[in-house]
Amino acid sequence: MKKIIIGARASKLSLAYVTKVKNLILESSKDLDIDTRTIKTSGDIHQNIRLSEIGGKNLFCKEIEESLIENNIDIAVHSLKDMESVDNKDLMIGAFIKRNDPRDVLISNKIKKLSELDDNIVIGSSSRRRELQLKKISKKISVVNLRGNIDTRIQKAEEKKLDAIILAAAGIKSLNLENKISLTFETNEMLPAAGQGIIAVQCRKDDKLIADIVKKINDKETSLCATAERKMLQTIGGDCETAVGGLAEIHNNNLKLKAQLFADLGNESFEQELTGRDVDASYIGKAVGEKLLNLAGEKFKKK
């Protein structure tokens, strides 16, 4: 019996994602013994500091990827939106799990509908994208930095007496906390982060056995959407403070990618949309990214 070790963060959400991946693997491949190893990342350790101040986006993945490269684990499970848009040269994403709800949601005791965002309210979030999108809805909204896992954020929101916190629907639903959601933003109201709602299963490029096991659980449609969204991010460049949203959807073998990029000052945003054949996902992502850069011009500096 082949033993496989899956590595991931120790949060409840990460472990829920691991359970999902583990069950999918066991359904598609027999005679496997799968263990889980939790790994504390820099992003988990420094929860009271903005990610941009301690090194950027990949801080939720770096230590896990290192453990994978060093053969301490065989598979890594990540939330795709936490990953860099360019793969480590020794690693690959072997499978994208069927996408969960990509939308953003509010958890609040007082805000139940969009019109109630007109008041002078305070919302907790660690995302510059979400902050600027909220301010487009109402300039009266104040956004304070709030990091940590879902339980921690809910607790901090209550302690700090925030009016609301904003999170990804996928995480809330994966932890069966739907009853906490007070408002769901439709994607035309708030475009989610590229990769939001997608679980990425990573392995070593040179480990053919594991790669063959992992590819059996890949969802083709989600993979194509992820390809378009990540290619758009690669083309734009930027860093973890870049405010950008992107969502690809497929209907009848046609892929539509919608994206939004904010100027460096945050006072202006640029939108672009393109539809083409789903097999041209990478081209669509690159074209949308290039168009956004052209629209933004000197108002956005590619890092």
Q: What is the rounded CA–CA span in Å between residue 172 and residue 186?
A: 16
Specify the DSSP element, H or E, that contains 107. strand 104-107
Which neighbouring-strand residues pair with 276?
A: 255
Q: pLDDT digit string (tens) for 72-83?
A: 999 999 999 989
Q: pLDDT digit string (tens) for 41-53?
A: 765 544 555 544 4
Q: Is residue 110 within 8 Å of residue 116, measured between CB atoms?
A: yes
173, pLDDT greater than 50:
yes
DSSP class of 192: P
Q: Mean pLDDT across the stretch 238-260?
A: 93
114, pLDDT greater than 90:
no
Question: What six digits make up the tokens of 189?
Answer: 């109201």
Helix (H, G, I), strand (E, B) or coil at 51: helix
Catalytic residue, chosen from 31, 33, 44, 82, is 82
User: Average pLDDT, whole number, for the chain?
Assistant: 90
Q: Which residue, 175, 185, 132, is CA-closest to 154?
A: 175
Q: What is the rounded CA–CA span in Å between residue 264 and residue 143?
A: 17
Q: pLDDT digit string (tens) for 131-169?
A: 999 999 988 899 988 877 888 888 877 777 789 999 999
Q: Determine whether 278 is an active site residue.
A: no
Q: pLDDT digit string (tens) for 254-284?
A: 999 999 999 999 999 999 999 999 999 999 9
The pLDDT assigned to 44 comes to 54
